[in-house]
Structure 1
């Protein structure tokens, strides 16, 4: 018998305040167009994985902004961070609260309602990775993870799942396979063609439904922005923006 999230109102008392920057108008419109296309991608597309070939190509930013965009439509939506090995979500969005997350739940150390966090947006919740785990692939391969997604789908209109990079570890394909569809994120001028082909091949071999791609940071310079298209459709945004891009700048200064 499938579990539901009990005491949902009580869970509302646990709140985090992610510092999610507003996008420039053109970038926000690109995210909204992506959202609209996902809504028209077919019946049953509810749990949506967002992935990339390698790290720091913008997948987490796209996932967060997509979650925020669905919430703006008064849709109940939850962002789920599944990058158990190397998540940067807490640091990147300056979330200072002590949290437990997916690792603790999948390890049987806490209940589901303990890892669902409210934000200051009443339509947007978040689930974090929690503690580092020595066996991420095993945890994510367990049927308990699939049940976890089904429970969330029963309680939310959309579940946006931030996966590990596909070409780096097997975790990303495992997570994506449990979702209803996957969006690939490619960074303009960074993601190599061979890496993109390898990512698509990995997802196809795993039986993952690919519903589109995002060409990210197109024309990302201080004076312009642009749009890019690929694998059927894609929506890119630039304008010198991106949390991952900011991370890179910080590293270069060290």
Structure 2
């Protein structure tokens, strides 16, 4: 795909949710700038929007570090009381909607890339090449081991589509606004119904097809929620994941959901 959508980096330097383990603001900023550097080094022509929903302006640090990059910085204060009550996914939904409304770089673009701050995706180009102009994401499934071990009618019935990985995805802006922009309102952390679940429900309701990747996204960086570094996916693990997806893709109820 020749077209490269702008990359929206969602950030929240000040933490509102009590379950988030990485709480040091300076560390959160430094990790965001470090991951941002990987995007810039990958292609200095990327259009990048950093939107922080906690009211912290660290744009000077970004522009000083990457003076030649095409980066737009936005900051605002989201509803911290509701974020604390319902979970970080609620805040993320507010951040994306704010960026879509206020970003100059996003205004005339048909699609955008969403990436959580502190993260980088090593096989971004591979993912972009598979983007169909609507949505591409990776999903989680249950009972994959049963399917891999037996691959019979029982195993096919047991496998379930659980959620969409909202750390990174590429999506058409109109589709996002029509089907996903209000998904965050349904997030209820106390009931273990996260943005990942609400996003999946929205995708199913939209009748989207061919949006699930059949290979792993090579996400690196640090999880703010867990304060844990994502390890690089090695070749053997990458191939194992691809084999699992190939099996799931062959199950009739899922075949139309995977990328063609």
Give the TM-score normalised by the residue count of structure 2.
0.27
Q: Report the structure, 1 or 2, having the larger helix content.
A: 2
Structure with higher Rg: it is 2
Higher strand share: 2
Larger RCO, structure (CA 8 Å, separation 6 or more): 1
